[in-house]
Amino acid sequence: MKKIILLLAITAAFISCTGPSGPPGLNGINGLDGQNIVAQSYEIQRNFTAPDYGFRIDHPTDIEVLETDMILVYILWDEVPATDGGTIDIWRLLPQTVYSDFGEFAYNYESTFIDVDIFLDGPASTDFNLLAPADIDNQIFRIVILPVDLANDPTLDITDYNSVINVGKISESDIIVIE
């Protein structure tokens, strides 16, 4: 009889033990809280002008940028013919180095969660005044804000614009064009 009482007491002790609650899950799986984690993007067209050959753009107010987000800047490098008669945009991740007759220079950027600086960079011997209008006028850039949760995706290749917009689930209609 004492063994039965002891067994019941031990069973009651184990049943009454509880631990801390786990994180809320999406449908009870994987620990996600059900937030909709999305990337965002905007496009700008600017000229590089003397004397600084650069410009600053504040992130649009309707785009929330966190300090942990990855900010990527792509330049429209080329347009190639598509099979349907249209064109396909070729986007390249900055920095992007160009070699010219007068030397080399790079389209480059630095960013914060508040703004992005896009500028021309090069050795001290580079004379940006010698650049052709095609190198400095009407340059189109896409800025992609990638939440850290998406930036850690093992399938992501940030050098491939299409990989970034696929992981970020960004469609052409989602891209805000800044005038």
Contacts of 177 (CB under 8 A, 6+ apart): 42, 43, 44
The pLDDT of residue 24 is 55
Examine residue 8 and state whether it is found in any structural domain, yes or no: no
Burial class (CB in 10 A: 0-12, 13-18, 19+), 27: exposed
The pLDDT of residue 18: 60
**84 belongs to a structural domain:** yes
Element (H, E) at 15: helix 2-16
Predicted local confidence at residue 177, as pLDDT: 96
Q: How far apart (Å, rounded) are the C-alpha atoms in residues 56 and 52?
A: 11
Q: How many domains does the chain have?
A: 1
Contact of 75 with 94, CB cutoff 8 Å: yes
Residue 5 lies in a domain: no
Q: For residue 93, what are the domain limits?
A: 38-177
Is the distance from CB of 108 to CB of 120 less than 8 angstroms? yes
Residue 126: inside a domain: yes
Amino acid at 148: V
Predicted local confidence at residue 179, as pLDDT: 85
In a domain, 164, yes or no: yes
The 3-state DSSP class for residue 14 equals helix
- What is the model's pTM? 0.79
Identify each DSSP E strand in 29-124 by its residue range: 40-46, 54-58, 70-81, 87-93, 96-100, 103-111, 115-121
Burial call 159-178: b when 16+ CB within 10 Å, e when fewer: eebeebbebbebeeeeeeee
Q: Is position 157 within any domain?
A: yes
Range 55-75 average pLDDT: 95
Tens digits of per-residue pLDDT, 99-122? 988 789 999 999 999 999 999 999
Q: What tens digit of pLDDT does each residue of 33-43 get? A: 556 678 999 99
Average pLDDT of the segment spanning 169-178: 94
Query: Quick one: average pLDDT of 130-135?
Result: 92
Question: Worst-scoring range by mean pLDDT, 36-40, 67-71, 83-87?
Answer: 36-40
| % residues pLDDT > 90 (the chain) | 69
On whether residue 23 sits in a domain, the answer given is no
pLDDT tens per residue across span 140-157 = 999 999 999 898 889 999
Is it the case that residue 32 has pLDDT exceeding 80? Answer: no
Q: What is the pLDDT of residue 1?
A: 58
Flag whether 153 is in a domain: yes
**6, pLDDT greater than 90:** no
Which of 23-27, 76-80, 132-136 comes out lowest in average pLDDT? 23-27
| The predicted structure's pLDDT at residue 26 | 47
